[in-house]
Amino acid sequence: MSEPTDTMRLGYVGLGIMGGAMAANLLKAGHPLSVWNRTPEKAQPLLDAGATWCDTAAAVASQSDVVFLNVTDTADVEQVLFSVMGVAAGADEKRGLIVVDHSTISPVATRAFAERLEPYGVTLLDAPVSGGDVGAKSGTLSVMVGGMSEAFDAVLPLLEVVGGTVTHVGPVGSGQACKACNQAAVLGALLGTVEAMALSKKLGLDPTVMLDVVAGGAGGSWQLANLGPKIAAGDHAPGFMVDYLLKDLCIVRDAAAHVGLPLPIVAQAEQLMRSASAMGLGQRGTQAVAAVMEHLGGFRFDDPMPGNDESGETDEA
């Protein structure tokens, strides 16, 4: 097993919205960090803060005790791990590299990847996260981890840098299974928020007032509290993108099909998300699904409420 956490050399592959913020928190915590990203310019803020650039994922692995991954899809993880210049190529069997995969991918493929990594002396932990870009920046993500207990214990202090809640949920693949469940729950809450806001708008009730009230009761959720105000303002700036959630939906759907389980809410959510993507909103935040509801309902969430002028004052005497 690797050295104690306080002397571990860390590597990070995948420096997008989530990975860049999580890597920055590890660097701020004082850990030496080597990085690689397909788009090198995304690494610049980390390099300015003291990280070391590597030309390949293999180079990151060769000088790290723990390598974190945060890439888009199952195929991307496979490429980063097993390509000619991938992580496995840079691993030293005697050193016992730990790979922590924060990507959201197939739980079935994750188990296969773990088996393929064993001859290289690499232990894989699947550790997808929930909490969006806000949680990534603040280090308050929920991290769900699958894999060997010994490896989990070794990297737990590192995971606690990026996560407010870190839970070992079972053997390898269990983290991805838990994330699939998380995404199903997220979708229900997001679509419920959009529909509640649409109903509020059409009934003449200010959605922002409704959000404040509902957030304090049984209808409250992270989606309502964090994305509801953005929807009301017409703010579709990405934290987590529509097309990324569509990718996750495919993982949820395939996992459910693998065990013969129908998920009607997920199926409906996929239709709405695909509609948003077809409207050109695939690179916008998941809250952009509200634009589909605006189209169906013939309104805009950011239109002024009737009876209010531009100053926000009512017409009443």
Strand 129-130 versus strand 141-146 pairing type: antiparallel
Rounded to whole angstroms, the Cα distance separating 163 from 157 reads 10
CB count in 10 Å sphere of residue 2:
18
SS3 state at 193: helix
Distant-in-sequence contacts of 296-300, Cβ < 8 A, 24+ apart: 297/198, 297/201, 297/202, 299/198, 299/201, 299/202, 300/234
Q: Could you list the beta-strand ranges (E) of 61-139.
A: 66-69, 98-101, 123-126, 129-130
Q: Is 42 annotated in the active site?
A: no
Residue among 28, 94, 137, 179 flagged as catalytic? 179
User: Are 82 and 74 spatial neighbours (Cβ–Cβ below 8 Å)?
Assistant: no
SS3 state at 144: strand
Rounded to whole angstroms, the Cα distance separating 158 from 98 reads 12
User: Are 266 and 180 spatial neighbours (Cβ–Cβ below 8 Å)?
Assistant: no
Rounded to whole angstroms, the Cα distance separating 71 from 16 reads 8
Rounded to whole angstroms, the Cα distance separating 156 from 158 reads 5
Catalytic residues: 179
